[in-house]
């Protein structure tokens, strides 16, 4: 294409994009009107009005994401037709809804991502746009279907990809909607109803691929998935902040983000157990310990417990308690919900004994009504008897997961009685760790709810509704009030209300929280799809929690077995998954490293070969031209060297981080950088990190692979042999090369 032809094409494409933005603005205005109309509407039931408001609000959110990069490409077919690809779909409403812009997730958009010279997918040319805000600055073309074309077209796919991976990192992960590669697209669009495992080394884009797959599933299965939402589980809060804008940038907001320490509502923990305790808590064998701990609290009295009634004294002996315990356990109900069965048996025995004693001598067998009245009075007296309630609390207490587990950890006697590993003992029983979360969640089901508390809550709600209805009915009786004044006070025309219940509905407090808020606060909420990052760290007990959250077993999980640091984590995918989804999980791998340049990956690969020799490192897509370096420092020199790095990087564009062993001043532990990326990384004292055995080797591998441009290492002790490839600080590097 000549320079003049290029300029003419650029002007034409700018006009095209301007038209698309005009139509986008019109769509936004229409959505805004519908939202305002829904807010002020009075027709239909309150639930129907609420649905309209939420639907129009969701439509507005989806349209807000498209300002930057609304349209990022064009496909030219061999037939001569061309199609534009973008973040959302836009249609010509005046021409039978002809598509003007294809949503990147639409089936018709797939050739844009997967076409190659050898397999052009019916395409003649792929054009990729370069934009800044709403302005088109340039475009690159890639001619398909032939090798060595004579029109001088650029390899647009490589150009766009390299521009993206070489760009300085900002705050948070960016979507890759404009540069999805063929191997990534295949995974994103994979139609698999079970668990999809995506494994890839550092920088292979497994996380962002999983998030784009969520966006794709929400697009293709919106009706099924949207009402229940999607759960995304990441290793730490920093990681969740890093990825938090990817799905909103793709127009999807009904997504709940959690760490493994957040999976029990109201509990947020980040502390880790020592390896032995983590291994014990993550094993399914802990289920027997929990069951035994619950059974241990269902006790028999060592001595009969006296209950002094008004006319006699009865005793709860071991035989009575044992009968009641056997019946309660045989009910199959959770512990707390079985307490009424236990209570009923004990109450029956005590009332029978008391009735016989009190009625002896003045009631005969024929006085059936009197006997029945006496039993009823005694039953009522026991229900209100403080000593009897205290005895029940001793023999069959109402337990919470926190009270049971905390008292188990802090009591050597209870640990022994439950057959628990001694490593679980700790002074502060309720100093929760991440490994405690699945145990607490398990105990929710083992213990069940407190029926008495639930009944009290139900009655309170009934009283509130009854009071509101009575109040509303009283308002309706004020017929002498001026009609216009009444309409203004109530915010609704009296003629529209025919009953006190209708008016009461105006006063009832409704749950107006967004789906994300409601789901995060509800332990029993179930999701249609779950994404788990760093899945190699999950224990078998963690998997039980997640399976409860997603009964449909629809998961996208991403990880790298070589980066496993948890003693309870996965050693193989089959070991973890066959128990829960036998024959319903698929494995896919990503092999291209888009983050870590070849110079840095060579150093990390040497370490990988030492601690995981069977794992092949991912192949870097680029070189950066800057060699990683190392420098020996003394303890006195270390703080100054770190400050110098921070000061130097502050004057550069992009992001940087100092990574070191836990407790190192000014450094972030490797575990807190998992999944993150920075333009520059300084690794401090790798020899100390490596000294932590297999977990330390995995941590150091993570630390070395966070950098996208520059890597430095400061060591006080001898440089580990695996890092011998690091040259001295200041060594010049080669120029960046275009990957083959």
User: What is residue 150's predicted lDDT score, i.e. its pLDDT?
Assistant: 39
**CA–CA gap between residue 435 and residue 39 (Å, rounded):** 45
Return the top range by mean pLDDT from 138-147, 150-159, 424-433, 510-519: 424-433
3-state secondary structure of 188: helix
pLDDT at 434 over 90: yes
The CA angle 438-442-445, to the nearest 5 degrees, is 150
Which residues are within 8 A (CB) of 338 and not within 5 positions of it... i.e. 6 or more apart? 328, 329, 331, 396, 448
Tell which wins on pLDDT, 691 or 504: 691
* Residue scoring higher pLDDT (421 or 46): 421
Average pLDDT over residues 242-248: 91
The per-residue pLDDT of the chain, averaged, comes to 88
Q: Over the range 503-527, which residues count as b (16 or more CB within 10 Å of their CB) and which as e?
A: bbbeeeeeeeeebeeebbeebebeb
Distance from C-alpha of 716 to C-alpha of 685, rounded to nearest angstrom: 6
Mean per-residue pLDDT for 457-480? 62
pLDDT number for residue 97: 86
Cα–Cα separations (whole angstroms), residue 345 to 323, 335, 390, 568, 622? 8, 15, 16, 43, 75
Looking at residue 253, what is its pLDDT?
84
Alpha-carbon distances of 597 from 427, 513, 705, rounded to whole Å: 47, 45, 9
Q: Is the per-residue pLDDT at 457 higher than 70?
A: no
92 φ, ψ to 5°? -85, 105
Q: What is the predicted pLDDT for the residue at 149?
A: 42
Q: Can you tell me whether residue 707 is helix, strand or coil?
A: strand
Average pLDDT over residues 639-645: 96
- For 67-96, b/e burial (b = at least 16 CB within 10 A) is eebbbbbbbbeeeeeebbbbbbbbeeeeee
Residue 181: C-alpha distances to residues 114, 219, 281, 676 (Å):
7, 19, 40, 21
| pLDDT tens digit sequence for 370-387 | 889 999 999 999 999 999
**CA pair distance 456, 441, nearest whole angstrom:** 24
**More confidently predicted of 467 and 323:** 323
Mean pLDDT of 394-414: 97
- 568: phi then psi, degrees, rounded to nearest 5: -100, 5
Q: What would the two tokens of residue 345 be?
A: 């048996």
pLDDT for residue 600 is more than 90: yes
Question: Domains, the chain, ranges and CATH?
Answer: 3-167 (no CATH), 184-264+526-590 (3.40.50.300), 275-447 (no CATH), 451-507 (no CATH), 598-728 (3.40.50.300)
Res 736 pLDDT > 90: no
Give the Å distances, CA to CA, from 675 to 226, 701, 705, 706.
Answer: 27, 12, 10, 8
pLDDT in tens, 9-63: 999 999 999 999 999 999 999 989 888 888 876 666 767 777 788 778 888 888 8
Please give the Cα distance from 586 to 44 (Å, whole number).
Answer: 46
Strands 629-632 and 678-684: unpaired
Which pLDDT score is estimated for 155? Answer: 47
Residue 633 token pair:
């420092």
Q: Which amino acids are annotated as binding site, given as ranges?
A: 200-207
Residue 216 has pLDDT above 90, yes or no: yes
Cα 418 to Cα 400: distance, rounded to the nearest angstrom? 17
Q: In this model, does residue 508 exceed pLDDT 60?
A: no
| Residue with more model confidence, 735 or 560 | 560
| Spatial separation of the C-alpha atoms in residues 480 and 486, rounded to whole Å | 10
Report yes or no: 667 and 709 within 8 Å, Cβ to Cβ: no
- Is the Cβ–Cβ distance between 318 and 301 less than 8 Å? yes
Instruction: Note whether 250 and 177 are within 8 A (CB).
Output: yes
Binding-site members for ATP are 200-207
Q: Report percent pLDDT > 70 for the chain.
A: 88
Q: What is the pLDDT of residue 523?
A: 94
Per-residue model confidence as pLDDT tens digits over 166-205: 888 877 898 899 889 999 999 999 999 999 999 999 999 9
| Residues 376, 675: Cα–Cα separation, whole Å | 65
Residue 152 has pLDDT above 50, yes or no: no
Task: Residue 515: name the closest of 505, 507, 525 by CA.
Answer: 525
User: Does residue 113 surpass a pLDDT of 60?
Assistant: yes
Of 267-271, 313-317, 497-501, 557-561, which gets the smallest average pLDDT?
Answer: 497-501
Give yes or no for residue 212 having a pLDDT over 90.
yes
pLDDT of the residue at 274: 93
In 3D space, the residue among 395, 398, 313, 399 whose CA is nearest the CA of residue 346 turns out to be 395
Is residue 547 a contact partner of residue 441, using CB atoms and an 8 Å limit? Answer: no
539: pLDDT strictly greater than 70: yes
Average pLDDT over residues 411-416: 97
User: 564: closest CA among 601, 615, 599, 530?
Assistant: 615
8-state DSSP, 675 = T
- Give strand pairing partners of 98: 92
Q: Reply yes or no on whether the pLDDT at 676 is more than 90.
A: yes
Closest alpha carbon to 562 in 657, 702, 368 = 702
Q: What is the pLDDT of residue 474?
A: 65
- What distance lies between CA 532 and its chain's CA centroid? 7
Judge whether 451 and 336 are in contact, CB under 8 Å.
yes
Phi, psi of 129 (to 5 degrees): -90, 145
Residue 70 has pLDDT above 90, yes or no: yes
- Confidence class of residue 452 from pLDDT cuts 50, 70 and 90? confident
Residues 360-380: b if buried by 16+ CB within 10 A, e if exposed:
eeeeeeeeeeebeebbebbbe
pLDDT reported for residue 226 = 82
Q: Which two tokens stand for residue 539?
A: 């224990």
Query: Average pLDDT, stretch 119-128?
Result: 93
Q: Tell me which range, 32-46, 72-86, 153-167, 467-481, is most confidently predicted by mean pLDDT.
A: 72-86
């Amino acid at each position: 294409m000549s320079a003049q032809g290029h300029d003419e094409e650029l002007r034409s494409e700018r006009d095209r994009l301007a038209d698309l933005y005009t139509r986008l603005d019109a769509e936004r205005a229409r959505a805004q009107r519908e939202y305002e109309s829904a807010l002020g509407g009075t027709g239909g039931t309150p639930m129907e009005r609420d649905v309209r408001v939420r639907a129009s609000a969701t439509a507005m959110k989806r349209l807000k994401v498209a300002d930057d990069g609304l349209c990022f490409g064009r496909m030219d077919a061999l037939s001569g037709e061309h199609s534009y690809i973008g973040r959302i779909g836009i249609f010509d409403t005046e021409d039978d809804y002809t598509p003007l812009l294809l949503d990147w997730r639409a089936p018709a958009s797939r050739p844009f991502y997967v076409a190659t010279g050898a397999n052009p997918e019916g395409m003649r040319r792929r054009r990729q746009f370069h934009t800044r805000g709403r302005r088109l600055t340039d475009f690159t073309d890639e001619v398909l279907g032939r090798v060595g074309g004579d029109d001088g077209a650029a390899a647009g796919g490589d150009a766009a990809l390299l521009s993206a991976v070489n760009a300085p990192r900002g705050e948070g992960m960016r979507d890759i909607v404009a540069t999805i590669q063929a191997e990534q697209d295949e995974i994103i669009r994979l139609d698999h109803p079970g668990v999809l495992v995506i494994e890839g080394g550092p920088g292979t884009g497994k996380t962002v691929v999983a998030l784009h797959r969520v966006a794709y599933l929400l697009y293709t299965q919106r009706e099924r998935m949207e009402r229940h939402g999607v759960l995304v589980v990441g290793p730490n809060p920093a990681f969740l902040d890093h990825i938090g804008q990817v799905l909103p940038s793709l127009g999807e907001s009904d997504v709940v983000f959690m760490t493994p320490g957040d999976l029990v509502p109201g509990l947020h923990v980040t502390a880790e157990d020592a390896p032995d305790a983590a291994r014990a808590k993550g094993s399914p064998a802990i289920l027997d310990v929990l069951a035994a701990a619950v059974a241990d609290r269902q006790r028999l009295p060592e001595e009969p417990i006296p209950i002094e009634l008004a006319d006699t004294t009865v005793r709860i002996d071991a035989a009575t308690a044992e009968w009641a315990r056997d019946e309660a356990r045989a009910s199959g109900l959770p512990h707390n919900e079985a307490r009424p069965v236990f209570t009923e048996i004990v109450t029956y025995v005590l009332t029978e004994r008391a009735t016989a004693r009190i009625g002896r001598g003045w009631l005969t067998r024929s006085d059936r009504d009197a006997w029945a009245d006496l039993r009823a009075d005694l039953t009522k007296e026991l229900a209100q008897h403080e000593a009897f309630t205290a005895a029940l609390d001793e023999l069959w207490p109402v337990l919470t997961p926190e009270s049971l587990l905390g008292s188990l950890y802090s009591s050597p006697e209870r640990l022994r009685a439950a057959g628990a590993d001694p490593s679980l003992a700790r002074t502060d029983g309720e100093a929760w760790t991440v490994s405690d979360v699945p145990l607490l969640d398990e105990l929710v089901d083992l213990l069940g709810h407190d029926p008495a508390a639930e009944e009290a809550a139900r009655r309170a709600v009934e009283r509130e509704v009854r009071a509101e209805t009575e109040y509303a009915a009283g308002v309706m009786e004020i017929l002498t009030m001026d009609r216009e004044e009444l309409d203004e006070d109530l915010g609704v025309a009296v003629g529209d209300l025919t009953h006190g219940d209708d008016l009461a509905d105006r006063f009832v407090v409704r749950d107006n929280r967004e789906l994300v808020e409601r789901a995060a606060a509800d332990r029993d909420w179930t999701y249609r799809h779950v994404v788990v990052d760093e899945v190699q760290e999950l224990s078998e007990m963690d998997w039980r929690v997640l399976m409860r959250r997603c009964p449909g077993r629809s998961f996208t999980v991403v990880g790298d077995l070589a980066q496993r640091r948890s003693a309870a984590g996965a050693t193989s995918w089959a070991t973890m998954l066959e128990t829960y989804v036998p024959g319903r999980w698929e494995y896919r791998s990503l092999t291209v490293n888009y983050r870590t340049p070849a110079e840095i990956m060579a150093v990390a690969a040497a370490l990988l070969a030492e601690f995981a020799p069977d794992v092949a490192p991912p192949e870097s897509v680029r070189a950066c031209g800057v060699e990683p370096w190392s420098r020996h420092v003394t303890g006195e020199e270390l703080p100054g060297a770190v400050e110098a790095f921070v000061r130097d990087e502050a004057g550069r564009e992009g992001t940087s981080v100092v990574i070191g062993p836990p407790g190192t001043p000014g450094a972030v532990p490797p575990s807190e950088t998992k999944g993150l990326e920075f333009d520059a990384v300084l690794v401090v004292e790798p020899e100390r990190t490596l000294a932590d055995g297999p977990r330390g080797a995995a941590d150091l591998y993570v630390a070395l692979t966070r950098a996208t441009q520059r890597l430095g290492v400061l060591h006080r002790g001898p440089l580990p042999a695996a890092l011998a490839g690091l040259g001295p600080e200041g060594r010049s590097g080669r120029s960046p090369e275009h990957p083959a």
